[in-house]
Amino acid sequence: MFRGKNYKAAAAAIDKAKLYDTNEALGLVCELSKAKFDETVEVHVRLGVDSRHADQQVRGAIVLPNGTGKTVRTLVIAKGDKADAATAAGADFVGAEEYIQKIQQENWFDFDVLITSPDMMGLVGRLGKVLGPKGLMPNPKAGTVTPDVARAVTEAKAGKIEYRLDKTNIIHCPIGKVSFGTEKLAENFNTLLGAIIKAKPAAAKGQYIKSCVVTSTMGPGLKINSAKIGD
């Protein structure tokens, strides 16, 4: 894989064998970012669970205290008072059948989060095959299937993120932008990791957090000492 000179310089400045403290790692991520845009900072957490088993799933959602730095576009599928409440809360798109058809017929995906009320899931469920692979299918655990659609819109706009295991038992999540600086990124990191630790399945045995890596969009990964998470 081709790597640019900025990546190579950043990679040379870190110790690949070292387990960094959280603040030190995030500080280096910010310091070594040389891209011409505000890079996203991501966390990749490998867990000691087996995602093939239903009782070892790890999934949920959390509002990051400093947001993600991203403008979130919300689509709400609702009717009546709930639709009105979603509009008042600042939802970008609000409707019902017309948006279902738009997605089906026009392959329209100009939104980042889809929120719906429980009574509309029969309608939204028809889109499972196209929403699922894109990670856009609403889910009660993520707070995107809820009677309080207005609150869900507000939280999404404020920086709510969903965390879930992939097939390799890793959780991948953004925690902000390089421009946030070490302190705000650390607050978001600790909030996310706290939620993941709290979500530990009862069926999980042995070491829960196997490894944790932080990186920027264009930068190399830094390994965090999982025994010192929160420091």
DSSP state of 15: -
Q: For the chain, first and last CA: distance in Å?
A: 34
**Residue 231's pLDDT band (boundaries 50, 70, 90)?**
very low
> Tokens 């507000």 — which residue?
154
CATH 3.40.50.790 placement within the chain: 74-158
pTM (2 decimals)? 0.82
**Lowest-pLDDT range, 9-18, 39-48, 155-164, 203-212?**
9-18
pLDDT of res. 152: 96
pLDDT of res. 4: 67
- Domain 5-67+160-228 fold: Ribulose 1,5 Bisphosphate Carboxylase/Oxygenase (3.30.190)
Q: What is the pLDDT of residues 25-62, one digit of tens each?
A: 999 999 988 888 999 999 999 999 998 899 999 989 99
CATH number of 74-158: 3.40.50.790
**Residue 1's pLDDT band (boundaries 50, 70, 90)?**
low
CATH 3.30.190.20 placement within the chain: 5-67+160-228
Token pair in block for residue 227 = 């025994």
Token pair in block for residue 12 = 């040379």
Q: Which residues pair with 224 in a beta bridge?
A: 20
Mean pLDDT (whole number) for 155-168 = 91
Q: What is the pLDDT of residues 110-138, one digit of tens each?
A: 999 999 999 999 999 999 999 998 889 99
- Which among 90, 184, 77 has a CA at the least distance from the CA of 120? 77
For residue 111, give the 3-state DSSP assignment.
coil
Q: What is the pLDDT of residues 66-78, one digit of tens each?
A: 999 999 999 999 9
Q: What is the pLDDT of residues 173-225, one digit of tens each?
A: 999 999 999 999 999 999 999 999 999 999 888 899 999 999 999 888 999 98
